[in-house]
Structure 1
Amino acid sequence: MYKLFEDRTRQFWILHTLGWLGFAIVNYLGSLVQETRDAYLIVVMLDSYIGWLITIPLRYAYQRVWHWTPWRMILTVLLLAFLVAAIWTAVRNFNYWEIYRHGARPDDWLKYIRDTPVAFYVILSWSGLYFGIKYYQTLQQEKQKSLTATNKAHEAQLKMLRYQLNPHFLFNTLNAISTLVLINETDTANKMVTRLSDFLRYSLYKDPINKVALEQEVYAARLYLEIEKVRFSERLSVAFDLESGTEKALVPSLILQPLIENAIKYAVASQINGGEIAITAKKFGHDLLLEVADNGPGMTITNGLPKSSDSGVGLVNTKERLSALYDNNFALVLTHNQPHGLKVNIRIPLELEKTEQEHA
């Protein structure tokens, strides 16, 4: 049905035909009180067909006046509607006298157009419906254009925010690989190159508009952490705690990466003995709770973000991505970890990935 009415020209012909068919039915049923002869049905059908035919040129005339000034357009529409009503009235009366009255013509020719006000009302109603539907179509078209533009802007924004990969990460990783090659740790260097390749492939080929299962996000996080673990060795400790059933929960791709990156920079790299990062996922009613916590020195939190503008870039980007994807149905909260450190909590709606069996 939607495809049937998608084409505006086709939509006009369907509605135009149905409207005049409805006029014929209503007019005939209303005449049964006074007119009983079958010949009157022919007159009604002819009247409706002439009305259907004579209003077609109005469509093309109205298309030309659509962009005129309001008063000029209104006066033109009234004039055209009255002219068409007069012609239609004359033809209708001619059909009535020639077919129903068997050629018994009236004495005064003015009787052929005496019902013009009634016909004018019908034609004016047709004109009102035409402009009303055309205005609605135009409004919907503009609304669709606005939604498309907004979606494209959100898509571009999401991609921009998602692809802001920290260049220091690439520099440090490549520098570590170079060092491993120089000290003949070729196996470790090869593993690091493979993990970096897998991580970059994941980050580039996962559409930021589409959500991924949490298990895929954890896989990317492990790749990232394994690369960093080569750099920090025993100084970096990682713990994952995923509640059963959260593996198939849908999350924005690489939503954890900037949080883990911040934790490594400010909780692990800044301490001689390194630090620990704990990644947790839980279900809470109809929501999914994600948490990235560290045992670093912590930070001063202002308005829900670290006081340091540099450390807050990844968190600001994450919050903007969540806002673009979930509108206001999300939360990103920073709290102090105990006994020390920082916790980043994310709450998003719980959406589960559909299995192939469910699709079938």
Structure 2
Amino acid sequence: MLSNPNSIDSGKRGPGELNSRALFWWLHSAGWVGVFLVGYLSALAYGKSYELWKLLAPVAITGFLGTLGLRYLLRALSGVPPVRVALLMIGPVLAVSAAMGLTYAVILLNGWCGGCRVPSSWLGYAAYMGSQTYMVVGWVSLYLVITTWRKLRAQTEAALAATSMAHQAQLKMLQYQLNPHFLFNALNAISTLVLDRDPANANRMVQRLSMFLRHSLDADPMQQVTLKQEIDTTCLYLDIEKVRFTERLTVRIEIDDTCWPALLPSLLLQPLVENAIKHAVARRVEGTTLIVRAERDRHSLRLSVLDDGPGRPPPEAGRSQLEHATHGNGVGLANTRERLRMLYGARQSFEARDRSEGGFMVVMTLPFEVGGTAGG
């Protein structure tokens, strides 16, 4: 007598949902068959007529069909506060109980169960209907207990999966940030500034690199930060890269004033900016403009990372579809896409594609949640 609480009314159903549906039908059928057998065997034990099955079987079938209707009603009320569900279910529960009582009365009054004793007054029929009400209420209670437990279990599993994905993303990013090649480029840029007798910029670069690495090591990808904090961290990284590429890299930060205090997962923009640096700036001799943009669309935050570089490279032999579809860097963008999916479910979207005017763009949409202090 249970149902899948996470059922999705769509054409495609996964193996888990199909198994849950089969389990529901098995338990629902077994439950009402059990009700019939217990009632019938108990009656025989008390010396009642074996023909009592003619009465109990139709009543059990009525209960089977009636509670099926209650199941679909409860599914429609999913997400409604429990007290309201209880109030809304009073009428349907009484209706199913009355149907079972009516089946009982019709069979007895028409003499279809020859060996069955007919109640001497209407009170007997009312008492039987009352006993069926307890049974239907028990069915509804059991259904709600099991479906609530399944929802909690699904939420727990989703939270654990999101935690795992976030830590994987952090490990991937730390692997890049502490990559000897990255550190070599940064230190080489600092060395060049020293040789050019530019100690002020060299000192500034050392401070930026130190702050960036410290933040990367301390950041918890499960913790939300304001967009202001995320942009500040991203700018630390971009300042280091601007020393490497000088005039070849132009950065534009375009943030709506209302978006600065918006909350988002920490270190979300890093792999997207890294992707643009690697596949747009580093591969072009001429200059490249990198744009980081944030806009508010009612209850959503739209984040974009755009460049005017060469765009998605043409397909090559041996390159996977995922690598080609994600601007050649399957790990960074795929991890970001999966991280958003695990954290926000259907409330987010992720799109990576070529721009019509040239270049590449990644656009993310996630719920607009406010926290912190707005900044410019």
Q: Taking structure 1 as the reference length, what is the TM-score of the superposition?
A: 0.56
Per-residue displacement from partner, 1:241-271 (whole Å, max 9, x unpaired)?
Answer: 2222221223332222122111111222112
Q: How does 1:37-76 map to 2 (within 5 A)?
A: 75=37
Asked whether the equivalents of residues 249 and 350 of structure 1 are also in contact (C-alpha less than 8 Å), the reply is: yes
TM-aligned CA deviation for residue 317 of structure 1: 2.2
1:254 to 263, 267, 273: 267
Return the match for 1:173 from 172, 177, 182.
182
Which whole-Å deviations, capped at 9, do the CAs of 1:110-133 have from their partners, x for residues lacking one? xxxxx9998787667556645653
User: For the residues of structure 2 that align with 1:220 and 1:289, how far apart are their CA atoms?
Assistant: 19
CA drift of 1:292 comes to 2.0
Deviation at 1:140, TM superposition (A): 2.0
Q: Which amino acid aligns with 1:152?
A: L
Match of 1:229 in 2: 242
Compared CA separation, residues 193 and 290, structure 1 to 2 (3 A): same
Q: Which residue of 2 aligns with 1:218?
A: 231
Deviation at 1:327, TM superposition (A): 1.7
Which of residues 140, 163, 169 in structure 2 aligns to 1:161? 169
Post-superposition shift, 1:342? Answer: 2.3
* Residue 153 to residue 78, structure 1, CA distance change in 2 (3 Å): farther
User: Which of the pair has more CA radius of gyration?
Assistant: 1
One-letter amino acid matched to 2:182 = T
Match of 1:141 among 125, 142, 149: 149
**Residues 273/153 of structure 1: CA separation in 2 closer, same or farther (3 Å cut):** same
Task: Tell me the residue number matched to 2:295.
Answer: 282
Query: 1:307 Cα deviation (Å)?
Result: 4.5
Is 2:340 the partner of 1:327?
Answer: no
Partners of 1:258 and 1:315 within 8 A in 2: yes
151 and 330 in structure 1: CA distance in 2 versus 1, 3 angstrom threshold: same
Residues 79 and 192 (structure 1 numbering): CA distance in 2 closer, same or farther, change over 3 Å? farther
Q: Distance in 2 between matches of 1:179 and 1:331?
A: 36
Instruction: Give 5+ residue unaligned stretches, structure 1.
Output: 1-65, 84-114
Alpha carbons of structure 1 residues 319 and 73: separation in structure 2 relative to 1, 3 Å: same
Counterpart CA distance in 1 for 2:201 and 2:373 is 37
Of structures 1 and 2, the one scoring higher in RCO (CA 8 A, sep 6+) is: 2
Q: Name the residue aligned to 1:336.
A: 355
Could you tell me which residue of structure 1 aligns to residue 334 of structure 2? 316
Give the corresponding residue for 1:295. Answer: 308
Report the count of equivalent residues: 262
**Which of 248, 262, 265 is residue 278 of structure 2 equivalent to?**
265
Range with greater deviation from structure 2 (74-83 or 199-208): 74-83
Q: Runs of 5+ in structure 2 lacking a partner?
A: 1-26, 46-122, 316-320
Q: Does 1:244 align with 2:257?
A: yes
Q: Distance in 2 between matches of 1:163 and 1:143?
A: 30
SS, match of residue 245 in structure 1: helix
Distance 1:134 1:248, change over 3 A: same
Contact 2:313/2:327 (8 A) holds in 1: no
Supply the distance in 1 between the matched residues of 2:233 and 2:227 (Cα, whole angstroms): 10
Give the equivalent residue in structure 2 for 1:111. none
Q: Which deviates the most, 201-210 or 295-304?
A: 295-304
Specify whether residues 279 and 138 from structure 1 end up closer, same or farther in structure 2 by C-alpha distance, changes over 3 A only. closer
